[in-house]
Amino acid sequence: MKPSLSLGGLIELLDRSVDLLLILDEGERVRHLSSLLESECGCAEPERNGCAELRDLFGTDALAAFREAMPKAASGDRGVVVYWKPDSTSPPIVFKIDFAETEDGPLYFFRSNRSTDISDFSLKDDWEKMLRAKELACLYSVAEWVQESKSIDEFFASFAKYMAPGMQFPDQVRIWSVYQGQEYGEKPEGGNTITSALSVSGETLGKIVIGYEDPAIDVLPEEQKLLDEIARFLCLALDRKSLATTLEVKAEELEGVTKKVAGLEFQIEARTRELEKEHKTLAKVNTYLDQAHRGFDESKRTLKTMFQAIPDTVALIDKNLEVVMTNQSEKMAGQVCHKVLFDMDNPCLDCRLIKISETRAPVTVEMKHGDKFFEVHALPVFNEEHEVDGIIEFFRDITFKKVYEQQLQQADKLASLGQLVSGIGHEINNPNQFIRGNIKIIKQALDDILPIVDEYQKSHPDLKIARLKYDFFREHILTLVDDMGNGSERIKRIVQSLKSFARKDEGLLVDTVDINNVIDESARLVHNQVHKFADIQLDLAPDLPTFEGNAQKLEQVIINLIINAGQAMPADHRGLIRVSSEKDGEYIVARVSDNGSGMSPSTAKNIFDPFFTTKRARGGTGLGLSIALRIIEEHRGVISAESEIGEGTTFTIRLPIGDREEAASE
């Protein structure tokens, strides 16, 4: 037998009748899914060619509920599916189930309306969800029976069958109804009961009483709430049936009116013909309007595409400082500009809208937000009265440009510092040469004079020199002279180190590098800067082989690592910086370790990136470690860091000993 319904006709009919619609075939393949259901259930949009399946739309629990309901619907039983949104306490969706044979084969129809959602439905656990699901199923079963029953007597005769499944113990429940003196069901005897009155047009005509066979079973408050809800819509249905009876009486009165209406039909037909002519004229106008509308939509899409493609941030801001439109995120619309663009609670101090409202002219400013710099171009937007109604702003990130300019300034400063250091070193070296030479002469003179004074002191035991007893003077004078000589030599070495550090670097790797000398010179240069925070301990392996490289560049790397270690020390205790060297196979290994505050994994991951710094407020540029990485790579070496919060950081440098040309050929 050929099916009497077409699938297209069913879908068109149901889509107009319900908000949420899902159609499945016997293989659980999706034949239709309404757009509202996609949004309501959080499902991914399925393909429309019918290849999506039920298991692609719902989780395990919901899938089981749908599958359990399908064979019942096919056998003619009435049922519902209560669908809970995953990980949500929002109201469930209750689907009614239908089954039909169509020209495309057997199909299952799951339908629901937004109005069927239950409000104030925040549940705490799965038990409450299960209990409420039973109540919902009971509600809809009773509601459908109200619609299907042909008389009040027929409804109450079967009411207990539909009400019992909603109770906690369906097999033991007793349900008794009385309406207009007629009794239905089995009246509960003893135990706790719940009651709800049946009132129609303000008059109480009956009641429903429910209890359990076992007097030890207490009736739940939720069951009383369910009974009250069912009684409420039952009273409405009874009221409508009463109204229908009244309408039958009025039907006779309407018959006379119908005759009068028949007389007007001729006039209506004539007027209809006139309206048809006007409709044809309007249809032509509507065609022209549709063409214009399509052209407008196309232009709108083109402009929106161009707007979104602008790389800089663009924001249209009204006179209330609210974002009207932006190319970054539609979520910004309707919020105040200083909050969504800069995360500030108050307007910018140099608010462009205020300036433009006063001057009516464009404004260009540079501003800093956090670690970033922006160049902002603001243009006025005028209304029909040519008053400033808002502004449109273009934000360009110029952080790299600003940092680059700062680096150029820093480079100029370093160049000037190099010239200054060279000049100061020359000026210090000259008088220091006199000191060194004179100390040698003084020491030789003392070696000659002291024996003579020793003999003199034997006959003059109270002899004092420089107001010191001679014995004390004799014991310490040579030590003092040696200390002056050592100090003069130290001045010489410091000046040599400064001049070497300030010397113009040609960038060639042609020096014969002794890593121990590089470490020793670096530690001497930064001693005064670091000793306020930490002690420097050198642990250098003796007789390390030399290698070809650039000593000045490597010295720059070691200096940077020691300074960073000193700055990482916490304020509450003095730290220790350990610098070591050793030979490991064909590599020279240098390590700079500290017991400072350490780094987080995210910080350690980015420390070698250009312009990344945690010391921006103290003048850090973020280039020190990136330059160190480049220098070590120029030497064909590797630099790495290991750090732990609260424990400290260790930087390890591995430099190959072999010839560069041999390594390159390999």
CB atoms closer than 10 angstroms to residue 462: 7
CA 436 to centroid of chain Cα atoms: 67
| Rounded average pLDDT over 481-508 | 69
Give 555-606 pLDDT, tens digit per residue.
989 998 998 888 888 878 889 999 999 999 999 999 999 998 888 887 877 7
CB atoms closer than 10 angstroms to residue 611: 17
CB atoms closer than 10 angstroms to residue 37: 22
pLDDT confidence of residue 662: 47
| Rounded average pLDDT over 539-561 | 91
**Distances in Å between the alpha carbon of 243 and those of 142, 231, 246, 256, 267?**
21, 18, 5, 21, 34
Q: Which class would CATH give 507-665?
A: alpha beta
User: Which residues, including other chains, have CB under 8 Å from residue 7's CB and lie 6 or more apart?
Assistant: 23, 31, 102, 103, 104, 107
Structure confidence at residue 422 as a pLDDT band (50, 70, 90): low
| Rounded average pLDDT over 405-415 | 58
pLDDT confidence of residue 121: 39
Lowest-confidence region among 94-98, 159-163, 271-275, 658-662: 658-662
Pairing of strands 30-33, 80-83: unpaired
May I ask the CATH architecture of the domain 148-309?
A: 2-Layer Sandwich (3.30)
So where are the chain's domains?
A: 1-122, 148-309, 313-396, 403-501, 507-665
- For residue 420, pLDDT beyond 70: no
DSSP assignment of 509-555, as one string? --EEE-HHHHHHHHHHHHHHHHTTTEEEEEEE-SSPPPEEE-HHHHH
Compute the Cα dihedral for 585, 587, 590, 593 and give only its sign: negative
Q: Answer with the residue of higher pLDDT: 552 or 143.
A: 552
Structure confidence at residue 416 as a pLDDT band (50, 70, 90): low
> Whole-angstrom Cα distance, residue 307 to residue 303?
6
Structure confidence at residue 6 as a pLDDT band (50, 70, 90): low
Task: Look up the CATH number of domain 1-122.
Answer: 3.30.450.20
- Find, among 523, 521, 530, the residue nearest to 499 by Cα: 521
CA-derived radius of gyration, the chain:
47
Domain 1-122 matches domain 148-309 at the CATH topology level: yes
Instruction: Say if residues 175 and 164 touch (Cβ distance below 8 Å).
Output: yes
Residue percentage of the chain with pLDDT more than 90: 9
pLDDT confidence of residue 306: 63
For the chain, the first-to-last Cα distance in angstroms comes to 85
**Helical H segments across 76-123, by residue range:** none
pLDDT confidence of residue 1: 45
Give 55-76 pLDDT, tens digit per residue.
888 777 678 778 888 888 888 7
Domain 313-396 has CATH 3.30.1360.120: no
Give 252-275 pLDDT, tens digit per residue.
566 666 777 777 777 788 888 888
Lowest-confidence region among 177-181, 188-192, 327-331, 626-630: 327-331
User: Which residues, including other chains, have CB under 8 Å from residue 90's CB and lie 6 or more apart?
Assistant: 121
pLDDT, averaged across the chain: 77
Give 439-482 pLDDT, tens digit per residue.
888 888 888 888 988 888 888 888 888 888 888 888 888 888 88
- For residue 547, pLDDT beyond 80: yes
Instruction: Say if residues 593 and 562 touch (Cβ distance below 8 Å).
Output: no
Structure confidence at residue 315 as a pLDDT band (50, 70, 90): confident
pTM attached to this predicted model: 0.33
DSSP assignment of 590-657, as one string? EEEEE-S----HHHHHHTTSTT--S-GGGT--S-HHHHHHHHHHHTT-EEEEEEETTTEEEEEEEEE-
DSSP assignment of 153-207, as one string? HHHHHHHHHHHGGGSSSGGGEEEEEEETTEEEE----SS-EEEEEEEETTEEEEE
| Rounded average pLDDT over 416-428 | 67
pLDDT confidence of residue 42: 58
What the block records as the tokens of 225 is 């709430």
Q: Which amino acid is at 482?
A: D
